[in-house]
Amino acid sequence: MVSSGNSSSGAKHSSGDSSSSSIFTSKTPILGLKLYVIIAATVAITVAVFLLIFLFLRSQRKKRRRISSLGRGSSGLLPLVFKEIDRVNESDRVGNGAGGAKTEKESKPILSKDVEIESNFRKKGSSESNDSSTSKSESSSAVTASTTTSTSGEGMNIGWGRWYSLKELETATDGFAVENVIGEGGYGIVYRGVLPDGSEVAVKNLLNKKGQAEKEFKVEVEAIGKVRHKNLVGLMGYCAEGPQRMLVYEYVDNGNLEQWLHGDVGPVSPLTWDIRMKIAIGTAKGLAYLHEGLEPKVVHRDVKSSNILLDRKWNAKVSDFGLAKLLGPEKSYVTTRVMGTFGYVSPDYASTGMLNEGSDVYSFGVLLMEIITGRSPVDYSRPPAEMNLVDWFKGMVGNRRGEELLDPLIEVPPPSRALKRVLLVCLRCIDLDVNKRPKMGQIVHMLEAEEFPFRAEPRPTQETTSLHPYTVGSSRFQQASKDATVGDEDHISRRR
């Protein structure tokens, strides 16, 4: 009896299992699919729908966050114009066609003072290091957003210079015509342009080689975007539309120093000794302002004759800040990849990669030699002993043949004393010990002085210890000696 009861209960369980499994495997009216297939498809569709909703909400959140960060301000290098545009009065807008001429106050340069700083530089931050991909994307998005917004307010000047549209610059340069090209190099092409108000500008179209255009665009805007000095080429504005990066400068209409030194100027150079010294002093003043008048200081890193532009009155203007580096007050140098022009780069920077203002001083010394001699820093057409300008220059001065260094195209040679003074400045600028090179401000005083540039360190006076404690008498004697020495020096200088 017991066994028959157990067998009956087992039969019931087996029949229940078979009936439940038959339910899942039974066909349904929906396309004849089995029930478990329908259940699995429903679960999969539900999960997919929830996943799509999650991804959509996440993308919307990121988009709102990015827009809000742009509204607050850019972490890149260019100023955003959203808040600035709201503050610009309608009187600041001048709607002369597409160009939109500047106001009279903006278009006239300030000539009563040497320098005009519109506002302090931003703190250097991460500008000395290589940008990460995140900061690059932020800066490029900031540029695009700023440019798009600025099209509604053409003709506005927003501190860092004016935003120009690509169409404006195409019109100004006649569609970037070949006949308007005034300069060309590895950085890009420079065109002469005429704005609707009749003012001339120089438009540099940066070549985008491996992101070089974006990098140079960033460096130049940050280095000189807010700087005004009569010996620095002024940045008037810029254009950033899509991949295009252009910089708009004031137009300097008399070529560059390299053209006047090494071009075909005839048997007599128009660059007299006085004009050459004016150019040298102007260049030194521009570099001195970059090194000593700004915070953070700017190291140009590419001082050479082709980067010294000249106006009709032979005033020098330092240009091309594409390789410039910012150097904060807490740093005496910055380590960077060696860049510059062969023949002008200082040996210490070339060997160590440690850059500071002393590198510009060395380059200026080579430039000054070039101004005096009319020779290029490296000239392979000359005899081997004269190929390198620095080595040849040192040898000639060491052999007391300094007067033979003068450019033969100079019709009237300078006084011997003036020539020796400038030769001495050259030698001090190219000192192999970077710490012994003078500052650019000191070089300006040396070139403007009428006497020899004496050593910066005063000659130590010999102190003799007195055998007796005649302190008061000895101090009076020393003062009298000093007075007598000054008198003798005045007498000697009058005899000279």
Taking alpha carbons only, the member of 166, 406, 150, 438 closest to residue 287 is: 438
Residue 90, CA distances (Å) to 103, 155, 437, 442 in order: 12, 11, 52, 47
Q: How far apart are CA 281 and CA 300, in angstroms?
A: 17
Q: Residue 324 has what pLDDT?
A: 86
The verdict on whether 302 is a catalytic residue reads yes
Q: Residue 214 has what pLDDT?
A: 67
Please check if 278 is assigned to a binding site.
Answer: no
21 C-beta neighbours (distance < 10 Å), count: 11
Q: How far apart are CA 494 and CA 496, in angstroms?
A: 5
Given a contact cutoff of 8 angstroms between Cβ atoms, the answer to whether 103 and 168 are in contact is: no
Q: How far apart are CA 7 and CA 370, in angstroms?
A: 116
Pairing mode, if any, of strands 308-310 and 325-327? unpaired
84 C-beta neighbours (distance < 10 Å), count: 17
Query: Which residue shows structure tokens 């007391």?
Result: 400
Q: How far apart are CA 169 and CA 155, in angstroms?
A: 13
Q: Which residues of the chain have pLDDT under 50?
A: 1-4, 6, 11-12, 69-159, 454-459, 461-496
- Residue 469 preceded by cis peptide, ω within 30: no
Q: How far apart are CA 217 and CA 321, in angstroms?
A: 10
Q: Residue 380 has what pLDDT?
A: 94
Query: Which residue shows structure tokens 């250097």?
Result: 124
Q: How far apart are CA 431 and CA 364, in angstroms?
A: 12
Q: How far apart are CA 235 and CA 220, in angstroms?
A: 9
Sequence-distant (6+) residues with CB within 8 A of 313 are none
- Type and span of the H or E element at 83: helix 82-87
Residue 126, CA distances (Å) to 67, 79, 439 in order: 23, 16, 26
Q: How far apart are CA 416 and CA 426, in angstroms?
A: 15
Sequence-distant (6+) residues with CB within 8 A of 333 are 327, 354, 355, 356
- Type and span of the H or E element at 206: strand 200-206
Sequence-distant (6+) residues with CB within 8 A of 174 are 180
Please check if 230 is assigned to a binding site.
Answer: no
Q: How far apart are CA 202 and CA 387, in angstroms?
A: 34
Q: What's the angle, vertex CA 302, arms to CA 133 and CA 313, rounded to 5?
A: 130
Please check if 204 is assigned to a binding site.
Answer: yes
Locate the domains of the chain by residue range. 22-62, 138-251, 256-459
73 C-beta neighbours (distance < 10 Å), count: 12
Q: How far apart are CA 450 and CA 493, in angstroms?
A: 12
Given a contact cutoff of 8 angstroms between Cβ atoms, the answer to whether 286 and 231 are in contact is: yes
302, 391, 433, 488: which is the annotated catalytic residue? Answer: 302
Three-state secondary-structure class, residue 295: coil
Sequence-distant (6+) residues with CB within 8 A of 287 are 300, 303, 318, 360, 364, 440
Domain over 256-459 is classified CATH 1.20.1260.10: no
B/e letters for 404-426, b = 16+ CB within 10 Å, e = fewer, are ebbbeebeeebeeeebebbbbbb
Pairing mode, if any, of strands 354-355 and 334-335? antiparallel
CATH topology for 138-251? Phosphorylase Kinase; domain 1 (3.30.200)
Given a contact cutoff of 8 angstroms between Cβ atoms, the answer to whether 316 and 308 are in contact is: yes
- Type and span of the H or E element at 149: helix 133-150
Q: Residue 327 has what pLDDT?
A: 86
Q: Model's pTM, two decimal places?
A: 0.61
